[in-house]
Amino acid sequence: MSRLSQSRRLTPPSRSRFSLLFLVGNLVFALLLGGGVGYSFHTRGRLPDVRFGYVDNHRQLLETGKQSELIPDLRTAALVSFDDASAQLQLLLTASIVNDSENIAVAMRGLLSHTPGDAELHAELAAVLLRRAALDEALVHSSYAVKLVPSSARLHSVQGAVMLAMGRNREAVSAYREALQLDPELEPAKRALAYPLRNY
């Protein structure tokens, strides 16, 4: 073998060199971990929480006021875990904060799957759908709410608002009059009958 080929051949480092490097690396890691735990215990008086990136990301978005960035994840959670009302509630709360009527409606539909007999929730969904101009679905929910609790002036008033938006003025007048019979001081019904429906 020539001298040139012998000089090009690399000699592997000794085994003890790798063991020492491994030991030093582990020691540095342990010191950093211990320092972080000690710092957390010193500043907060307790051990640090064990959290995961997904939860940290959501918590950070909530703390910085960027709730709208949470909506896609919350909507997915609400649709995937349909049997868990807490996902729909979290979506409803977050969407309400950022005034996202589309996702408010999604959350309310999910909540209605858990409590189909909740007349107030049907009326709230009807009001949200009315703002989104989804009038046919709003009419279904407002009518069902009135059917569930016919003694509620507010529910009749919501139904009147939906009818008015649909251009069904005679039916709107009937709903508003029913609301005023149940509660003569109900302002939305009084205003609707005084101005847009005064000629009916």
Instruction: Indicate whether 151 pLDDT > 90.
Output: yes
- Domain extent, residue 68, equals 53-114
Look at 4 and 197; give whichever has higher pLDDT.
197
- Over residues 66-113, the pLDDT tens digits come to 777 778 877 887 777 667 688 888 888 888 888 999 999 999 999 998
Residue 108 located in a structural domain? yes
Look at 18 and 86; give whichever has higher pLDDT.
86
Taking alpha carbons only, the member of 69, 88, 86, 70 closest to residue 78 is 88
Q: Are residues 68 and 100 in the same domain?
A: yes
Question: In the structure encoding, which two tokens stand for residue 87, read together?
Answer: 């996902």
Q: Are residues 98 and 150 in the same domain?
A: no
CA distances in angstroms from 121 to 113, 164, 191, listed in the order given: 11, 21, 24
The proportion of the chain whose per-residue pLDDT surpasses 90, expressed as a percent, equals: 46
**Domains held by the chain: number:** 2
Confidence of residue 51 (pLDDT cuts 50, 70, 90): very low
Q: Are residues 57 and 105 in the same domain?
A: yes
Q: Are residues 200 and 126 in the same domain?
A: yes
pLDDT at 23: 82
Residues 6+ apart with CB under 8 A from 197: 164, 169, 172, 173, 176
pLDDT at 20: 79
